[in-house]
Amino acid sequence: MTALRPPRHRPDPRAVWWWTLQWLVFAAVLAVVAGALWVLLDPWWPAAAGGALTALVLVAAVVAPRAQYRFQRWEVTDQAVYTRKGWLWHTWRVAPMSRVQTVDTEQGPLQRAFGLANVKVTTASAQGAVMIEALDHGLAAELADKLTAITHATPGDAT
């Protein structure tokens, strides 16, 4: 039976904590909203719903990052960039080197705290860039340099 094999590399293990922190920030925002509902509204049930949602997000904060870490992978060969992500809705993406237009690294404020970075590989399609998420930022810079070198060496007009 034909199937897609997993890409070779995992994200940096610190990614789990980065994702967890994102969920916790989300939970905190929900908790504040639920609190505000409790204070401002007379009926009790909007606040209770907010509280329940907060509890759900807290559970997700424990489960989701670990599941995501187990599924998320990436790989770069001389011919293509290959990624796999999403723990419920799976997504695999392949972009050939000959069609790569730009290679960038990105780092959000939370990621900087964990020393992580993303590598963004852009092609001419409206489908959006292929993202290699949550690498050690030194490794990300190295990988971006390597990708740029490979794309320069690969002939192709990128469209």
User: Any contact of residue 124 with another protein (CB under 8 A)?
Assistant: yes
Within 10 angstroms of residue 39's Cβ, the number of other Cβ atoms is: 8
Nearer to another protein, 42 or 78 (CB): 78
Binding another protein (rule: CB under 8 A), the pick from 68, 111, 123, 151 is 123
Work out how close the CB of 88 gets to another protein at its nearest, in angstroms, rounded to a whole number. 6
- Candidates 116, 117, 130, 140; binder of another protein (CB under 8 A) is 130
Instruction: Please report where in the chains the tokens 């990988």 appear, as a residue.
Output: 143
Contact call for residue 153 and another protein (CB under 8 A): no
Q: Which residues contact 53 (CB under 8 A, 6 or more apart)?
A: 30, 34
What is d(CA 1, CA 90) in angstroms, rounded to the nearest whole number? Answer: 19
Alpha-carbon distance of 10 to 1, in angstroms, equals: 25
CA gap 155, 98 in Å, rounded: 6
82 binds another protein (CB under 8 A): yes
Q: Which two tokens stand for residue 1?
A: 């039976």
| Contacts (CB under 8 A) with another protein, residues 50-79 | 75, 77, 79
Least Å distance between CB 142 and another protein?
23
C-alpha span between 97 and 79 (Å, rounded) = 5
Which residues of this chain interact with another protein, rule CB under 8 A? 1-5, 7, 75, 77, 79-80, 82, 86, 88-96, 99, 123-127, 130, 158-159
